[in-house]
Amino acid sequence: MIKSKNNYIMNNSRRDFIKAAGATSLLLSSFPLISGCVTREKKPTLGRVVVIGGGYAGTTAAKYIRMWSANSIDVVVIEKSSQFVSCPLSNLVLGGSKSINDLTFGYDLVKKNHGVEWVNDEVTEIDALNKKVSMKRGEISYDRLIIAPGIDLIYDSLPNLQSAEAQQAIPHAWKAGWQTVNLRSQLESMIDGGVFVMNVPKAPYRCPPGPYERACQVASYFKQYKPKSKVIVLDANPEITSKKGLFTKVFSEMYAGIIDYRPNNVVLEVDNKSKTVKTDFETVSANVLNIIPPQRAGKPAQMAGLNNIDKRWCEVDFLTYESKLAPNIHVIGDSVSAALPKSAHMATSQARVCASAIVELMQHRIPDPNPVFANTCYSYVDNKQAMHVANVYRYDATKKIMVSAEGGGVSMHPSELEGQYASAWATNIWSDVLT
């Protein structure tokens, strides 16, 4: 049951790894704030790492730094949300096969099992010179800082969509939570024969196949319950950006007559009242309108002045994920400029490389010079069938970047078996991040 926009009640019985811990408390960690500063009773041997962001990247990094340092590094996570809500699988809420409660978890197990300290607060300033982070309710010093803030949505060209009131009417739902629930409610209320209009922002953006999966989920819902309705996809890119062959076939075969895909359509203007969208080529009216704005590195990365690539993304050393602009500050997850997919799996992979490097650096040792990791991304085309893309990435010492290596590929076609794999992938990654 949803209590409010920002407060979800978690179903404790839905995941075995959550059941094992009993009821999940949403209370803050017993973490005293003394004279406005975060403190601990005992100073650990190697120092303190502060992590900004409790999403896939930040929580994974915090957990593995504690594990791989044998708990000799103090790790503090600053996260303004009291619960973890998964963006992966959130499109299934729009399709109706999942609820937001299925994707909502507490942080208790990762705190309890690994001694990660948690501060439920919002960052207001980062002082890189003095190694200090200020929050609304205090401040904390660090030896190394990890910034894992996810994305910030850019409303420069569509300022009339920036307010909470506007997003209630025209949600982006690109950060899983109350907007996801709101968009699902609008779809349920829409008349049969109505039109759902959504856009795809210019790449790069979070989760390359996500918008196309969203179109499939809404089309699947319409096909079952509102067969006269249509989905119009206005893509700012010249073609489908991920799993092109697979999505093209699904659009034309599974959802022929339902999904109308229109490439090279950049959203230029939105009329909030009439839910009308203008592009370079046309004006489109919607019964339900979903606008996903362009994106950039999250606000904490901007506070530190680290988004130097196109004024959007952060340049890092891929051996350590240390910023190229600020020593002792590392950036991981969606905020990184990497020419790689901005996905949950990628975020956790980067987090492990970063965590390993920090453990080595804080012991005055050399980090691994040849990191290797994988990324897998599943997309559901209905409530049971899914398809995937997977790649292995290796560090190229000459180019100083992560490059695609042998060992990847895409599905031949969507299937129920891959849907089962996708469900298992989600359960496994949630368990790895949160326990």
How many alpha carbons lie under 13 Å from residue 153 in its C-beta half-sphere? 16
The amino acid at residue 273 is K
60: CB partners within 8 A, 6+ apart: 347, 348, 351, 352, 355, 432, 433
Q: Residue 44: its pLDDT value, please?
A: 56
Structure confidence by residue, pLDDT tens digits, 96-120: 999 999 999 999 999 999 999 999 9
Q: Residue 11: its pLDDT value, please?
A: 40
Q: Residue 45: its pLDDT value, please?
A: 77
CA 348 from chain center: how many Å? 11
Sign of CA dihedral 203, 204, 210, 214: negative
Place of tokens 């978890």: 105
Strand extents, DSSP E, 195-256: 195-200, 230-235
394: CB partners within 8 A, 6+ apart: 370, 371, 372, 402, 403, 405
**Lowest-confidence pick of 66-75, 209-218, 406-415:** 406-415
Q: Residue 407: its pLDDT value, please?
A: 72
Strands 151-153 and 283-285: unpaired
Structure confidence by residue, pLDDT tens digits, 348-404: 999 999 999 999 999 999 999 999 999 999 999 999 999 999 999 999 999 999 999
Are the C-beta atoms of 2 and 181 separated by less than 8 Å? yes
Place of tokens 């979800």: 8
pTM of the predicted structure, to 2 decimals: 0.90
Are the C-beta atoms of 196 and 262 separated by less than 8 Å? no
Q: Which CATH superfamily is domain 159-294 in?
A: FAD/NAD(P)-binding domain (3.50.50.60)
Radius of gyration of the chain (CA): 22
Q: Residue 208: its pLDDT value, please?
A: 97
- Using alpha carbons, select from 165, 82, 96 the residue that is nearest to residue 383: 96
Phi-psi region of 22 (alpha: psi -120 to 50; beta: other; left: phi over 0): left
In terms of Cβ atoms closer than 10 Å to its own Cβ (0-12, 13-18, 19+), residue 22 is exposed
In terms of Cβ atoms closer than 10 Å to its own Cβ (0-12, 13-18, 19+), residue 314 is buried
Q: What is the mean pLDDT of residues 15-33?
A: 32
Q: Do domains 2-153+296-369 and 159-294 have the same CATH topology?
A: yes
User: What is the CA angle 179-184-190, rounded to 5?
Assistant: 125
Sign of CA dihedral 310, 311, 313, 318: positive
* Spatial distance between the Cα atoms of 119 and 238, rounded to a whole number of angstroms: 43
Quote the tokens at residue 7: 């407060």
* Spatial distance between the Cα atoms of 34 and 138, rounded to a whole number of angstroms: 8
Q: Residue 16: its pLDDT value, please?
A: 39
pLDDT band at 20 (very low <50, low <70, confident <90, very high): very low
* Spatial distance between the Cα atoms of 5 and 153, rounded to a whole number of angstroms: 19
pLDDT band at 406 (very low <50, low <70, confident <90, very high): confident
As a whole number, the mean pLDDT across the chain is: 91
**Overall size of the chain counted in residues:** 435
Q: Residue 332: its pLDDT value, please?
A: 98
* Spatial distance between the Cα atoms of 430 and 427, rounded to a whole number of angstroms: 5
Structure confidence by residue, pLDDT tens digits, 25-71: 222 232 233 234 444 445 557 999 999 999 999 999 999 999 999 99
Q: Residue 19: its pLDDT value, please?
A: 35
Q: Over pLDDT 90: what percentage of the chain?
A: 89
How many alpha carbons lie under 13 Å from residue 231 in its C-beta half-sphere? 31
Pick the CATH number of 2-153+296-369 from 3.40.47.10, 1.10.3720.10, 3.40.190.10, 3.50.50.60: 3.50.50.60
Are the C-beta atoms of 241 and 208 separated by less than 8 Å? yes
User: What is the CA angle 165-167-168, rounded to 5?
Assistant: 65
Structure confidence by residue, pLDDT tens digits, 272-291: 999 999 999 999 999 999 99
Where would I find the H helices in 54-177? 56-68, 91-95, 108-114, 164-169
Distances in Å between the Cα of 99 and the Cα atoms of 93, 220, 296 are: 5, 16, 28
Given a cut of 60, is residue 4 above it in pLDDT? Answer: no
The residue extents of the domains of the chain are 2-153+296-369, 159-294
The neighbouring-strand residues paired with 119 are 78
Are the C-beta atoms of 320 and 349 separated by less than 8 Å? no
Q: What is the mean pLDDT of residues 240-268?
A: 98
Q: What is the mean pLDDT of residues 201-205?
A: 97
Given a cut of 90, is residue 94 above it in pLDDT? Answer: yes
